[in-house]
Amino acid sequence: MAGSGPRVGVLALQGDVREHLAVLRGLGADAVPVRRPAELDDVAGLVIPGGESTVVDKLSRAFGLREPLVSRITGGMPVYGTCAGLIMLSDRVTDAIAGQQTLGGLDVTVRRNAFGNQNDSFETDLDIPELGDPAVHAVFIRAPAVTETGPDVVILAALDDGRIVAVEQGNLLGTAFHPEVTGEDRFHRRFLQRVAG
């Protein structure tokens, strides 16, 4: 059933699309999968889910979505990227594979698989003052980390070792972890507030 809230999209090329759609719909949004430029035209905001950033990059080009996505991001559309989505929103990737492109918009440098492979996945609690209490229970699965930020980037969360795992800049929000798998909806709420604003 469609929500009565704003129509927002989840980039449905790969990754945990269903989980993001469920969180957004649970918050009252009219959330739809986006695979084509025409579907992108129809949404006021977009979530780019986790998955494999190299695959999302290739598929976005194959589906003719790359240029429309860059245009909408540059134009101020609110976008929330988780894990691979954070990589896609980053201006710079230190360990990109040959030919890999991002959509850009976040003035950050990220490192792919910063915490190792699938076996090195972990969970931890993050205190994020902007979200209030309780702490965010964060799940990291082959996650990236932000290694450098530009002057306009707000750091929302970092691990005890200093590695940055949540950032925002203007209309863009990015997390290295997966709130959609733990029932954590405050990042999605923050994203929807930007869409409504």
On whether the CB atoms of residues 121 and 136 are closer than 8 A, the answer is: no
Q: What is the CA radius of gyration of the chain?
A: 15
Please identify which of the residues 19, 20, 168, 180 carries the catalytic annotation. Answer: 180
Reported in sequence order, the residue ranges of 119-184 that DSSP labels E, i.e. its strands, are 122-126, 136-140, 145-149, 154-158, 164-169, 172-175
Q: Is 45 left (phi over 0), alpha (psi -120 to 50) or beta?
A: beta
**123 assigned to active site:** no
**How far, in Å, CA of 123 to CA of 59, rounded?**
29
184 and 170 Cβ atoms separated by less than 8 Å: no
Active site residue 39: no
Q: Do 12 and 47 touch, CB atoms closer than 8 A? A: no
Residue 188 among the catalytic residues? no
Check 19, 168, 178, 184 and give the catalytic one. 178
Active-site choice (19, 20, 83, 188): 83
Active site residues: 83, 178, 180
